[in-house]
């Protein structure tokens, strides 16, 4: 997905889908999902006059091996779809594009050189705490990001300091949308049990462990998580000291919500009240992000230099120097050379750009009509005949269900129908697309089919068989 030029100066539509154009400078994150690299886009890289590389020339590249990743593939695609369909917002990390190199998925995103707020808190000296102005400035920007998400009927579902980044300019940005969700209708409720235990809202827990609780939940769970996050900013830790997940969940639903009333330091009433407004057990009593932006704790610091306050904090803690690197013959150790032994061949044959732009819901006029209508062209094809695109005798159509099953089972297993039918169909559909929205939609679905087949070999065989049986059944009605 292409966005406008960013604060870093990148024009995302000019970023390529060739891995060789990206120099992976260093690994800045590692997890079950794969690795995140600090990278430079070589075609636009220009060294500065003083021999340094400024932060605004870096990108973040998340590389996931789809065959080895421990993460749920659905979560990975959820994050990409989610970010791609978000309109630009100062307080949400920017997504640029996604492409594949063999089994590797490359996700290109904005680089936030100052790390996460969780990392910032860990660097605070033992006896030092953030002041209320610093907390207010950080929380305001989190709220602005949430306001944008909730306006678009999206729910983050894992708000915590580890998922709040600080950009090169000092802006606070939400990240990690792997468990996020879209609310399709205004009254729709979500039900999935996701999130981090310490930050999880009571209704998420009740919805999954109390048989009598069937209300579901909505975007207000992000507000509860924000309240816990504010306590984290004040006290440098989440309120529950327990490491037993079951005890944390039980405490959330059985005990009164945590407060700042017992804080040993001098805390203003407005900050205490802000936390109380977030941590209402009854979700309907919780204020929205829009309402919280009007709370006294936020408005009393209005007009201050927000980025300046964050940068001053960073400077005082880290002796911040912008992460500049000296230019030399060896400044780039291009780590991408170590990612795959067959990178040349993979780049040549298997690179696929995934576009996840929002799709126009009006499909009228998006596809050419074939000369033959669908029922007539499909009625004489079985899954076996489709692989060769040859007409089949009528007797084949009348084959018994047992014979059909035996015939299907005799065919090669694994990804046979994906290669011979599904992928070919998607390629042909792409040729019939008359506009970019239609092409993007077909490419996205093709990518999901490919990943599903990798995870569950043979899925396409079953899908094609069931599709054909359904078509035949409808024709006989």
What is the Cα–Cα distance from 88 to 104, expressed in whole angstroms? 27
The larger pLDDT score, comparing residue 60 to residue 388, is at 60
The per-residue pLDDT for 348 is 45
Using alpha carbons, list the distances in angstroms from residue 304 to 98, 140, 262, 269, 275: 37, 12, 29, 21, 22
| pLDDT 10s digits, 213-264 | 667 778 899 999 999 999 999 999 888 766 778 888 888 888 899 999 777 7
Angle, CA of 467, 473 and 477, to the nearest 5°: 145
Two structure tokens written together for 261: 């009333």
Average pLDDT (411-415) is: 52
Query: Among 159, 155, 178, which Cα is nearest to 70's?
Result: 178
Q: What are phi and psi of 424, to 5 degrees?
A: -65, -40
The per-residue pLDDT for 248 is 86
pLDDT at 385 over 50: no
Look at domain 12-113+323-353 and name its CATH class. Answer: alpha beta
Average pLDDT (81-110) is: 83
For residue 352, name the pLDDT band (cuts at 50, 70, 90). low
Residue-wise burial string across 314-326, b where 16 or more C-beta atoms lie within 10 A, e elsewhere: beeeeeeeebebe
Burial (CB < 10 A; 0-12, 13-18, 19+), residue 146, is buried
The per-residue pLDDT for 442 is 73
Q: At a CB cut-off of 8 Å and minimum separation 6, what does 143 contact?
A: 226, 289, 292, 293, 298
The per-residue pLDDT for 75 is 67
**Region of poorest pLDDT, from 196-200, 308-312, 411-415:** 411-415
The per-residue pLDDT for 156 is 86
Average pLDDT (108-136) is: 91
List Cβ<8 Å contacts ≥24 apart for 203-210: 203/283, 205/249, 205/252, 205/253, 206/253, 209/249
The per-residue pLDDT for 49 is 74
What is the Cα–Cα distance from 266 to 371, expressed in whole angstroms? 78
For residue 414, name the pLDDT band (cuts at 50, 70, 90). low
- DSSP bridge partners of 105: 64, 100
Q: Has 127 been annotated as catalytic?
A: no
For residue 9, name the pLDDT band (cuts at 50, 70, 90). low
Query: Among 322, 272, 153, which Cα is nearest to 222's?
Result: 153
State the Cα torsion 323-327-333-337 to the nearest 10°: 110
**Domain 117-318 in CATH 3.40.50.620:** no
H or E stretch at 63: strand 58-65
For residue 447, name the pLDDT band (cuts at 50, 70, 90). confident
| pLDDT 10s digits, 55-83 | 788 999 988 877 765 555 666 776 677 77
The per-residue pLDDT for 38 is 92
**Region of poorest pLDDT, from 30-39, 222-231, 314-323, 389-398:** 389-398
Average pLDDT (441-457) is: 75
The per-residue pLDDT for 210 is 66
The per-residue pLDDT for 32 is 59
SS3 assignment, position 471: helix
What is the Cα–Cα distance from 111 to 7, expressed in whole angstroms? 11
Most confident of 2-6, 20-24, 320-324, 330-334: 20-24
Q: What share of the chain in percent tops pLDDT 90?
A: 22
Neighbouring CB atoms inside 10 A of 378's CB total: 15
Query: Among 214, 351, 206, 332, which Cα is nearest to 281's?
Result: 206
Q: At a CB cut-off of 8 Å and minimum separation 6, what does 142 contact?
A: 91, 159, 164, 172, 174, 226, 229
Average pLDDT (142-155) is: 91
| pLDDT 10s digits, 11-23 | 666 788 888 999 9
The per-residue pLDDT for 420 is 82
Residue spans in the chain of domains classed CATH 3.30.200.20: 12-113+323-353
pLDDT at 195 over 60: yes
**Region of poorest pLDDT, from 187-191, 225-229, 269-273:** 187-191
pTM (predicted TM-score): 0.66
**Region of poorest pLDDT, from 116-120, 207-211, 234-238, 351-355:** 351-355
pLDDT at 24 over 80: yes
For residue 335, name the pLDDT band (cuts at 50, 70, 90). low
**Region of poorest pLDDT, from 86-100, 183-197, 447-461:** 183-197
The per-residue pLDDT for 203 is 86
Catalytic residue among 158, 176, 222, 437: 158
Average pLDDT (1-12) is: 51
Q: What is the mean pLDDT of the chain?
A: 74
pLDDT at 355 over 50: yes
The per-residue pLDDT for 339 is 55
Residue spans in the chain of domains classed CATH 1.10.510.10: 117-318
Neighbouring CB atoms inside 10 A of 212's CB total: 5
- Cβ 118 vs Cβ 160: under 8 Å: yes
Average pLDDT (434-448) is: 70
Two structure tokens written together for 85: 């369909």
pLDDT at 285 over 50: yes
What is the Cα–Cα distance from 116 to 327, expressed in whole angstroms? 27
Using alpha carbons, list the distances in angstroms from residue 353 to 44, 339, 435, 443: 20, 19, 17, 8
- Cβ 101 vs Cβ 86: under 8 Å: no
pLDDT at 460 over 90: no
Question: Side-chain half-sphere of 348: how many Cα atoms within 13 Å?
Answer: 4
Average pLDDT (194-223) is: 80
């Amino acid at each position: 997905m292409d966005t406008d030029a960013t604060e870093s100066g990148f024009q995302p539509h000019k970023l390529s889908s060739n891995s060789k154009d990206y120099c992976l400078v260093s690994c800045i994150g590692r997890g079950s999902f794969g690795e995140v690299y600090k990278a430079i886009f070589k075609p636009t890289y220009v060294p500065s006059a003083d021999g340094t590389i400024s932060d605004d020339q870096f990108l973040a590249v998340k590389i996931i091996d789809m065959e080895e990743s421990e993460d749920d593939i659905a979560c990975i695609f959820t994050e990409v779809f989610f970010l791609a369909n978000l309109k630009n917002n100062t307080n949400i990390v920017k997504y640029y594009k996604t492409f594949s190199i063999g089994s590797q998925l490359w996700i290109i995103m904005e680089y936030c050189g100052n790390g996460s707020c969780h990392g910032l808190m860990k660097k605070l000296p033992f006896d030092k705490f953030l002041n209320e102005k610093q907390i207010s400035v950080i929380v305001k920007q989190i709220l602005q990001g949430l306001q944008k998400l909730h306006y678009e009927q999206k729910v983050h579902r894992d708000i915590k300091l580890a998922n709040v980044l600080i950009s090169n300019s000092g802006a606070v940005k939400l990240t990690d949308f792997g468990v996020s969700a879209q609310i399709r209708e205004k009254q729709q409720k979500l039900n999935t049990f996701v999130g981090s235990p310490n930050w999880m809202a009571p209704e998420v827990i009740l919805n999954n462990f109390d048989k009598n609780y069937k209300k579901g939940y909505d975007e207000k769970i992000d507000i509860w998580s924000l309240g816990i996050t504010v306590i984290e900013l004040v006290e440098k830790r989440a309120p529950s000291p327990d490491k037993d997940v079951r005890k944390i969940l039980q405490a959330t639903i059985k005990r009164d919500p945590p407060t700042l009333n017992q804080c040993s330091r001098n805390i203003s009433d407005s900050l205490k009240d802000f936390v109380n407004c977030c941590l209402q057990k009854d979700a309907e009593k919780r204020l929205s992000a829009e309402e919280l932006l009007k709370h006294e704790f936020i408005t009393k610091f209005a007009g201050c230099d927000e980025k300046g306050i964050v940068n001053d904090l960073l400077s005082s803690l880290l002796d911040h120097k912008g992460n500049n690197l000296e230019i030399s013959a060896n400044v780039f150790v291009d780590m991408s050379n170590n990612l795959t032994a067959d990178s040349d061949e993979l780049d040549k044959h298997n690179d696929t750009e995934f576009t996840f732009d929002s799709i126009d819901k009006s499909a009228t006029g998006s596809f050419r009509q074939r000369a033959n209508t669908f029922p007539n062209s499909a009625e004489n094809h079985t899954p076996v005949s489709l692989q060769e695109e040859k007409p089949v005798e009528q007797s084949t159509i009348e084959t018994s269900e047992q014979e059909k099953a035996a015939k299907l089972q005799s065919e090669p297993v694994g990804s046979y129908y994906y290669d011979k039918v599904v992928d070919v169909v998607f390629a042909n559909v792409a040729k019939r697309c008359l506009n970019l929205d239609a092409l993007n939609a077909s490419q996205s679905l093709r990518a999901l089919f490919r990943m599903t087949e990798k995870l569950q070999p043979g899925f396409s065989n079953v899908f094609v068989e069931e599709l054909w049986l359904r078509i035949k059944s409808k024709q006989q009605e």
